[in-house]
Structure formats: C-alpha cells, structure tokens
Chains A and B, each alone.
Chain A
Amino acid sequence: MAEPLMADSRRCRLTHFFLYDGSKVTGEGDPTRDGICYFYPEKTPIDQQELLCGQLAGVSRCVSELSSSPVRVLRLRHTKFAIRMEEDLFWALGCSVDFPTVSMSDFLDQLINLFCFYNGPVRQSYQENSREVLALCWSRYLFYLQAGSTELHYIFSCLHTIDSTHIDPLLLLKASLILQACQRCPLVLAGCILFRGKVVSSQMPPDLTVMVMAHETQTYNKDERPNEVSSRVPLSGAVTSTTVHLTLSQLQVLRSTNVDRESRSHSTPSKDSKLPRTRLSRTLSDTPSNDSNTDLEADAPLTPLRLDGLLSPEESAARPAASPPPSHASLRSPEISPFPNRKGPRSGADEEEDEDEKSYYYSFHGGGSDPGCRTPGQEGLAEGLGTSRGTSGNICGGAALPGVGDTNQTLVPMTLYQHRVNGLVLVLLVEPRLQEDADAMEEVYHSSLASLNGLEAHLRTVAPGPPGPQGPYLFAHYDCVQNTLITNVSGGGGRGPGGSFVRAAALLHSHFWNSEALQETIIRSATTAVYATRSVAQETYFLQHGGSVRNSGVPNHQDTAFSLPSKARHRLLKHGVSLL
C-alpha cells in the first residue's frame, strides 16, 4: 500500500482528508477520479489522490465486508486514518500516528457534521451544487476546525471558551440571562453568546455549539458562503439568519429540554399560579428555596461547570426553579431518548427523576450530564463520553454506528438567527417560522438588544491581560460534558516541558478512552512525571516542574512522582478544579 507523504505536520498534524463517492466508480473502466468529491491538500497530484482514495476505499470495503462492521480506523506505518462509510460515500481523515485516534475520529465526525449542518444531506448537496462550490465548504470547515487551536484543543476536540479569569462572573450570568430572556419566545430553541469567536455562554449541547460557531466565524470574516440561504431581517442590519439542518435526535434534545414553555410565555398566567416560584426574571434576588436543589448539586458528578462555580450563591439556588416540578416530567415523552447514542431503553426506575435532571442540567451542562451514566460500568462510560461529544461512541470496537452525524438520517431544516454587536454575537437556533412572525422576531430582538449592547461594552473593556506567570506546574482540565478545557499551557508549547506535557496528555487521553477502568495514572520520563486522573465527567492532567533527581525508575516511596496526586489536588483548587 502506498505510504502517503507526510504533508503539513503543523497544528493538528492533519495530513489528508477526502470524500470519495463509490457510486461514481462502478465499472472496470471508470476512472477513480470521478469518485473523488473533495481531496485535501488540494494541490496533491491527481495520480496520488486516485492511489490513496482507491486503495483506502478498497481496503475498507474489504475489511468491513469480512468483519461485517464498518471500519473506523486504518493504521499505516506513518499515518493513520479515521474512516467513515455511509452507503457509497467514503470519508477518510489522515493524521500522524502520534495523534490520538479518538481525537482524530472526533475531528472527522465534527467535519462531516458541520457539512451536513449547513448544507443538508451530503448526497443531496452534491446533486444540487457543483463540486467546486462544495470544495470551498469543505476547505472552510477544515480551516475553521483547525483555526486558533492549540495542540491541547485538538487532543480534546473541545470548544473555545472565553478566558473567564479576567471576567467578572456576573457578566457570564448576564450572558446566560440574555439567553433565558430570548427563550421566552416559544419559537426559540436554544442559543449561545460568543465574543470574538469564543463561547461566553451556551445553552446548546457542545456539538451544536461547535457548528453554530463556524457560521459566526465565517460571517465575522465577512466571508459569505456561496450557496447560503441568507436573508436579511428587516429589523436591523445587525441581524441575519440562515438555514441549517438538524438531525431528528439533535432536535429532540433541544425540544425535550426546552422545558416550561408555557410559563415562559406571557400568554398563560394560569401555569404561573401553579408554580409558586418567582419568575425567571427574578433570578438574582428572589430565590425560593428548592429542595431538589441540594440533591442536584450534591449528586452532580461533574465539576460544576465554569459558570456554576462563578455564579453567585443566589443564582445557583435559583436555577433549579427554572425546571419544572417532577410532575411535569411525565408530560414529556420518555420513550424517545434524547441521547442519540443510547441504544436501549433506560432502566425505568429513575426515569422520571433523570428526565427532570436532564432538563435542568441541559442548559448549563450541555445535555450530556446524565446521572444515570455515572455508574462506572462500561456502557455508562462509553455512552456518557460519546454523548458528550455528540459523536459516535465506540471507536475501537468499530461496531457502533454514528449517531449524530449520520448523513442518511433525516435532517430537519431550522433557522440560525444571528444578532451581532461588534465582536459580540447572539446566535439562536429557532423554528423557521419565526422569520414569518414579525412580532415574535421583534420581541426577540428587543428583549436582547440593550443587554447585548451592555455586555459588549463590558467585555470590550475587559483587558485580556497577559497570561499570568505560569507557576511551577502545568495542568489541563478537560470537562467531557461541556467539552471545555481549562489549562495554563500556552499556545505554542512544542518543545520543553510544555511539549512533553502535551504529548503525555495525548497519550493518556487515548489510554483513558481505550480502558474504561483506568482512573488514575502517572507516567514519567527520566526528568519529569505527569499525573492524570479522570471521572466520567472530567479528565485532569498535572505536571510539577523541578522534579528531584532521585527518580531513578526503580519503585521508591520517596519518588516525588507519588506526591503528584496531592499536589494536583492542592494546586488546582485555585483554578476551580476539584479533584476530591
């Protein structure tokens, strides 16, 4: 087999990406190039493209027919490929071998999902558009997914969040209140607020937030997609909307968690009388005590997501009030699991409770924090992680079928509403009929305009500030549920302790993914050691500078590596990371 050339090894170490349509190459005489819909790097000679596409597609088909399960990964000597096969469509994404397989597969899933989100089903878009037009899309998405990322961001395929260390937590609260206010309009499904391309607050599951941000980045760059169905809303030039495509399961998540609809709209005061809670609008001060609150907080396996930790106590107490009392849970259809990867029905016992918690957690924890998945059992773990990423779960087994990104799944057109105030953007996923409803549109616009102006003024004045002194340690804390990363490793870090730390994190992240039972581990070289620990909801990596020379490699109770866990616990507390 041809060993592909190591092309561009910077950043993600992405070497190749292509989409091959086998239905275009059926006869003996059909040239392979007819099936190549897109190939990256685009300058690759066509002979080489044909060689790689033909061979990888052939091998994958052969293996999947022999094993009767789709191929997910192909490993060559210097490169490995994440593979996706759907009917005659064949995607391959090549990376260097030291890049974690799980991250590589995530990357491919994200890429395909992005394409479908903005263009609809792949085959249909290739029927409606020329290859050149869609090639532009693929290259944009490739660029977007790689842009501005550090190595660690690649490894964890995580969202870019605003650096909250210099930001008053009240501003994050303000952002989430803006989103809540928008949701008073029943046509608004969920939203997120971005500032200069980073997430300030999001109500969407992380996989959706990633996709929504791609549009933000594009319009910010004044770079309109050619086939974009974009319409100017008469309200203001700052508002645009575009059509996007959601899978049924994604839509189900959004709709099922979009709770308490009636009480949010002004039209039904009767519901309010049933709920003796204060209105959403009084979140800050009028906080009814809510018994479920303590349970939820105590039970939560997650590190309280960043927002949580930052909210004022009053706010934390008030949030559960936004979810309906348990009696309402049964109104939602429990048989339709909002989790795309869930294969079987859940154990019925805590169904109701879970439904309730889900709805509550959803807006803050991004949909994946299901307490039912907390059991250290294999299924729970795989599902929990898979869900949180919104991608197909099991990579190594090769048996699990992709959920979210299934291109042959029905895709439902929805509308992406976007309101920009300089560097700040409010993005809402809305029902398409919002655009026809001028009153509702105006209400959404006016309910958020002043606050967006204010938030933008606040965030603009927050000096990003130099990254503080790094301290005698490096850490990375990955929240699997929200898909976010906190780290003190700066962007560059290819060499030195930063480099080894990143390499260690990549290695251990793969190990964690491959063996569910693995909870804590220390790996070390002659000069340094990295401690890593994980739960269902988080992974934490820690390196202490200036290790002692006594580390000889022979097990020794004085070995400083053994003090890493307690040091990590101690040091990371001030970053809001609790390892207890």
Chain B
Amino acid sequence: MSGKTSLLKVILLGDGGVGKSSLMNRYVTNKFDTHLFHTIGVEFLNKDLEVDGHMVTLQIWDTAGQERFRSLRTPFYRGSDCCLLTFSVDDSQSFLNMGNWKKEFIYYADVKEPEKFPFVVLGNKVDVTERQVSAEDARQWCQENGNHPYYETSAKDDTNVAAAFEEAVRRVLATEERTEHLIHTDTVNLQRRPRSTTSCCS
C-alpha cells in the first residue's frame, strides 16, 4: 500500500446552498468565494496529500444540491470511496434531508454493503450565529445512522475543513485494509484503482 499513490474518490452530497463547493474550494485552493454559481451537475478537483504515511490523490467530487439537477449528478456516484454528507447548521431542513441523501447515494452508487461503506457527516457554516441544528442533534443522528464521524466545519473561516477530508481518507484506508485482511491475497482487488483514471493527457 505504501509507496504508491492511490486515487480516492470522495463525493460531497447535501442540499443546495449548504456549502459543498465552498468546502471543496477551501480545502484544495484555500480560497473562499461568496459569489459562487450554483453548481450544475458535478465538478471535481484533485489534491495530493499524505495521511498516516500513505500518499493519496484525493479526487473531491462536488455535486449540485438542487433537485432539478438530480439526473445530471447521480451517474457520477458510482466508484466513490467515501461519501461526505453535508448539511448547514443554520438550515434544519438540510439536516433533515440527510437521510434522503444517504439513500440516494446508496441507490445510485450501487453500494453492496451500505453498513460498511464509509460516510462522514459535515455540519457546515458553524461561523453563523443563528444555529438551527445543535451539535448534539447532529451527533445523535450520526450515532443512530451507522456511527458516522461528525465534523463541524466552516469553509468561510477554514474551520475543521482539512480535518474532515483527512478523516474521510482515513476511513477509506481503514476500510480497504479491513477488506485486504479478509480477502485472500490471490484475489483481484477491484476496489483499489491506480491513479491513471484522470489527467491522462494534458
């Protein structure tokens, strides 16, 4: 595993306007733009990083949260290694919708064992003073829905953003190690991909 850079695909899901694009931009380019367009369909950025001695290229897929873009985004769920469920702490509806996002992801990504798939939950916009979702409620939801790790982030203030993405990487690596441990070594591991899936020519 070590010594080789692997490509991990993580996908950001959540209601429109919770800050998925901002989280991605903050993490990859360390910029925050208050004037972002609504995302149409999907977008992605790559970032190389090292987590616990593993070199990985994190491919972060940002998706459109609005319902009308559903048919554009869902084909790109497949092949994700981790799903970042995102809501905004100042929008209780976005919190309530997380269950739907999880279901949509499991369905379209065709996840075989949903209970083992790594999800990370992000409560974004903690810089906002009027919260509608408390940290306890969020933690409780994570506890009840598969014991997902929960991070309170702010793309605007750069709070916890890197920590959340690194946690996603750790979860993926942990899952892969578990799988490797269980599967005999002479089988072909279809989970791990070489990094050649992107930027083949430039």
List residues of A whose CB falls within 8 A of some B CB. 168, 170-171, 173-174, 177, 180-181, 184, 236-238, 266, 279-285, 420-422, 446-447, 449-451, 453-455, 457-458, 461
CB <8 Å contact, B38 and A420: no
How far, in whole Å, are A239 and B137 apart by their CA atoms in the complex?
46
CB <8 Å contact, A279 and B75: no
- Write out the residue numbers on chain B whose beta carbons fall within 8 Å of the beta carbon of A282: 37-38
Known: A449-B45, A458-B72. 5 other contacts (CB 8 A): A170-B69, A236-B202, A281-B35, A450-B62, A458-B41
- Write out the residue numbers on chain A whose beta carbons fall within 8 Å of the beta carbon of B29: 446
B182 at the interface (CB under 8 A from A): no
- Write out the residue numbers on chain B whose beta carbons fall within 8 Å of the beta carbon of A461: 75
How many chain-B residues does the 8 Å CB contact rule pick out?
27
Distance in Å from the Cβ of A425 to the closest Cβ of chain B? 11
- Write out the residue numbers on chain B whose beta carbons fall within 8 Å of the beta carbon of A450: 21, 24-25, 43-45, 62
Kindly list the 5 A-B residue pairs having the minimum CB-CB distance in the complex, ordered from nearest: A454-B43, A450-B43, A174-B40, A281-B35, A238-B202
CB <8 Å contact, B72 and A170: yes
List residues of B whose CB falls within 8 A of some A CB. 21, 24-25, 29, 31, 33, 35-45, 62, 66, 69, 71-72, 75-76, 200-202
How far, in whole Å, are A338 and B154 apart by their CA atoms in the complex?
47
| Of A181, A422, A453, A455, the contact of B37 (CB 8 Å cutoff) | A181
How far, in whole Å, are A453 and B42 apart by their CA atoms in the complex?
9
CB <8 Å contact, A168 and B43: no
How far, in whole Å, are A57 and B118 apart by their CA atoms in the complex?
76
CB <8 Å contact, B38 and A451: no
- Write out the residue numbers on chain A whose beta carbons fall within 8 Å of the beta carbon of B38: 281-285
How far, in whole Å, are A449 and B42 apart by their CA atoms in the complex?
12
| Of A168, A181, A238, A446, the contact of B31 (CB 8 Å cutoff) | A446
How far, in whole Å, are A450 and B46 apart by their CA atoms in the complex?
9
Distance in Å from the Cβ of B9 to the closest Cβ of chain A? 12
Query: Closest residue of chain A to B40, judged by CB?
Result: A174
> Of B36, B41, B45, which is in contact with the most chain A CB atoms at under 10 Å from its CB?
B41
CB <8 Å contact, A454 and B35: no
List 11 contacting pairs A-B, 8 Å CB cutoff, sorted by A: A174-B40, A184-B35, A266-B35, A282-B37, A283-B38, A284-B37, A420-B202, A446-B29, A450-B45, A454-B43, A454-B62
Contact (A174, B41) CB under 8 Å given A238-B202, A422-B200, A450-B25:
yes
CB <8 Å contact, B40 and A457: no
How far, in whole Å, are A461 and B38 apart by their CA atoms in the complex?
21
Query: Closest residue of chain A to B45, judged by CB?
Result: A450
CB <8 Å contact, A170 and B62: no
How far, in whole Å, are A10 and B36 apart by their CA atoms in the complex?
49
- Write out the residue numbers on chain A whose beta carbons fall within 8 Å of the beta carbon of B31: 446
- Write out the residue numbers on chain B whose beta carbons fall within 8 Å of the beta carbon of A421: 202
Query: Closest residue of chain A to B71, judged by CB?
Result: A168
| Of A171, A422, A451, the contact of B43 (CB 8 Å cutoff) | A451
CB <8 Å contact, A454 and B42: yes
- Write out the residue numbers on chain A whose beta carbons fall within 8 Å of the beta carbon of B66: 284-285
| Of B36, B40, B45, the contact of A453 (CB 8 Å cutoff) | B45
How far, in whole Å, are A184 and B33 apart by their CA atoms in the complex?
12
CB <8 Å contact, A177 and B42: no
CB <8 Å contact, A168 and B72: yes
How far, in whole Å, are A422 and B199 apart by their CA atoms in the complex?
7
How far, in whole Å, are A181 and B76 apart by their CA atoms in the complex?
24
CB <8 Å contact, B40 and A280: no
CB <8 Å contact, B42 and A457: yes
Query: Closest residue of chain A to B200, judged by CB?
Result: A422
CB <8 Å contact, A170 and B37: no
How far, in whole Å, are A446 and B201 apart by their CA atoms in the complex?
19
How far, in whole Å, are A446 and B47 apart by their CA atoms in the complex?
13
- Write out the residue numbers on chain A whose beta carbons fall within 8 Å of the beta carbon of B25: 446, 450
Contact (A237, B202) CB under 8 Å given A283-B37, A450-B62:
yes
Query: Closest residue of chain B to A178, judged by CB?
Result: B37
Query: Closest residue of chain A to B201, judged by CB?
Result: A422
How far, in whole Å, are A285 and B43 apart by their CA atoms in the complex?
19
Query: Closest residue of chain B to A423, judged by CB?
Result: B201
- Write out the residue numbers on chain A whose beta carbons fall within 8 Å of the beta carbon of B36: 281
Distance in Å from the Cβ of A298 to the closest Cβ of chain B? 27
CB <8 Å contact, B37 and A177: yes
CB <8 Å contact, B41 and A454: yes
Distance in Å from the Cβ of B133 to the closest Cβ of chain A? 23
How far, in whole Å, are A181 and B38 apart by their CA atoms in the complex?
12
- Write out the residue numbers on chain B whose beta carbons fall within 8 Å of the beta carbon of A237: 202
How far, in whole Å, are A421 and B198 apart by their CA atoms in the complex?
10
Contact (A457, B37) CB under 8 Å given A170-B69, A446-B31:
no
How far, in whole Å, are A237 and B199 apart by their CA atoms in the complex?
11
Query: Closest residue of chain A to B38, judged by CB?
Result: A284
Distance in Å from the Cβ of B126 to the closest Cβ of chain A? 23
Query: Closest residue of chain B to A171, judged by CB?
Result: B41
How far, in whole Å, are A455 and B66 apart by their CA atoms in the complex?
17
> Of A174, A238, A461, which is in contact with the most chain B CB atoms at under 10 Å from its CB?
A174
How far, in whole Å, are A121 and B38 apart by their CA atoms in the complex?
44
- Write out the residue numbers on chain A whose beta carbons fall within 8 Å of the beta carbon of B75: 461
How far, in whole Å, are A279 and B38 apart by their CA atoms in the complex?
12
CB <8 Å contact, B40 and A171: yes
CB <8 Å contact, A281 and B37: yes
Query: Closest residue of chain B to A174, judged by CB?
Result: B40
- Write out the residue numbers on chain A whose beta carbons fall within 8 Å of the beta carbon of B72: 168, 170-171, 458
CB <8 Å contact, B202 and A457: no
Contact (A170, B41) CB under 8 Å given A280-B35, A458-B72:
yes
- Write out the residue numbers on chain B whose beta carbons fall within 8 Å of the beta carbon of A455: 41
CB <8 Å contact, A458 and B42: yes
How far, in whole Å, are A236 and B202 apart by their CA atoms in the complex?
9
- Write out the residue numbers on chain B whose beta carbons fall within 8 Å of the beta carbon of A184: 35
How far, in whole Å, are A449 and B31 apart by their CA atoms in the complex?
13
- Write out the residue numbers on chain B whose beta carbons fall within 8 Å of the beta carbon of A449: 45
How far, in whole Å, are A422 and B33 apart by their CA atoms in the complex?
26
- Write out the residue numbers on chain B whose beta carbons fall within 8 Å of the beta carbon of A266: 35
How far, in whole Å, are A450 and B61 apart by their CA atoms in the complex?
9
- Write out the residue numbers on chain A whose beta carbons fall within 8 Å of the beta carbon of B40: 170-171, 173-174, 177, 284
How far, in whole Å, are A284 and B67 apart by their CA atoms in the complex?
13
- Write out the residue numbers on chain A whose beta carbons fall within 8 Å of the beta carbon of B43: 450-451, 453-454
- Write out the residue numbers on chain B whose beta carbons fall within 8 Å of the beta carbon of A177: 37, 40
Query: Closest residue of chain B to A237, judged by CB?
Result: B202
How far, in whole Å, are A453 and B60 apart by their CA atoms in the complex?
11
CB <8 Å contact, A457 and B76: yes
How far, in whole Å, are A89 and B41 apart by their CA atoms in the complex?
52
> Of B40, B71, B72, which is in contact with the most chain A CB atoms at under 10 Å from its CB?
B40
Distance in Å from the Cβ of A5 to the closest Cβ of chain B? 42
Query: Closest residue of chain A to B24, judged by CB?
Result: A450
Query: Closest residue of chain B to A175, judged by CB?
Result: B40
